[in-house]
Structure 1
């Protein structure tokens, strides 16, 4: 995963929008965003590691979604726009990428700036309750969460 400040320029949400200013894991941790990389392996050990994180954090529900033009057809663009609307949850949210690449944008509390996290296969992000965030794919146009 690579994190940086969003450039706030107009353009396709799936573009990098890279301001050139990196954001450290320490800054992410300070706003409650946690990152772990759990590589996907043929033996399926990653499933045990993800399950251990879920148990440790006392998660009750989980789902798997696949987002691609091929899989969603005409609903693809609408779904992608819906995911990109900024929102927050009252509960912690966790996302683990099984395939593809995606951007998770989180709003830094003190500055109100968006931090863009470019995630790939094996990246796990935990977003705390009450943080504004949004999601979009990158130009690869597919992701499995």
Structure 2
């Protein structure tokens, strides 16, 4: 079962658990627009196809985030992934191997919620949600990325301009915050 909890905000290696000891329910994730499924990796094809069809995902690829896979870009990519940002598209990740953490902002408290992902976890972050990603101490994750259209990955780091991004505004409206 996926581990979801409030991030402790104690300085230190981002790849450590940073578990505050305060668990978060899957219903709390749903309230902020985050969807989660567990789909066993062995024999996952039909269930992933069903979800892709239902959610209109037309494209996919596989990303390997490892020191070997990213080479000299590894440290800069890990740092970039951990910057607080949003996307104008859903971010869909299905973990095939390895593990890591997605942190998502709980809008009402501005607290980080940490989601520890492992093989079989399928996480969908809505367009406009502030989030970040990091590996854990295993330093490796292999994930399928699904896309509604052509694959793209444009991060908009948090700031005054991003706070007024139409996708951010729509996200806030969708969870009942703002006008």
Aligned-pair CA distance for 1:73 = 2.1
User: Which residue among 63, 66, 79 is the counterpart of 2:61?
Assistant: 63
Aligned equivalent of 1:37: 38
In structure 2, runs of 5+ residues without a counterpart are 144-179
Output the CA distance in 1 between the equivalents of 2:74 and 2:49. 29
Q: Which runs of 4+ in 1 moved over 4 A?
A: none
Q: Which is higher, the Rg of structure 1 or of structure 2?
A: 2
**TM-score (normalised: structure 1):** 0.94
In structure 1, runs of 5+ residues without a counterpart are none
**TM-score (normalised: structure 2):** 0.77
Output the CA distance in 2 between the equivalents of 1:54 and 1:84. 27
Q: Number of paired residues?
A: 142
Per-residue deviation, residues 76-104 of structure 1 (Å, max 9, x unmatched): 11111111111112222211101101100
Aligned equivalent of 2:106: 108
**What CA RMSD, in Å, does the superposition of the two structures yield over aligned residues?**
1.0
Per-residue deviation, residues 28-66 of structure 1 (Å, max 9, x unmatched): 11111111110011xxx3022112211111123322100
User: Which residue among 43, 49, 52 is the counterpart of 1:51?
Assistant: 49
Give the 3-state SS of the residue equivalent to 2:49 in structure 1.
Answer: helix
Output the CA distance in 1 between the equivalents of 2:135 and 2:60. 20
Q: Higher relative contact order by CA 8 Å / sep ≥ 6: 1 or 2? A: 1
Output the CA distance in 2 between the equivalents of 1:61 and 1:83. 22
Output the CA distance in 2 between the equivalents of 1:33 and 1:64. 21
User: Which residue among 82, 87, 91 is the counterpart of 1:93?
Assistant: 91
Aligned equivalent of 2:19: 18
Per-residue deviation, residues 10-35 of structure 1 (Å, max 9, x unmatched): 11110111111000011011111111
Output the CA distance in 2 between the equivalents of 1:67 and 1:138. 11
Output the CA distance in 1 between the equivalents of 2:98 and 2:110. 28
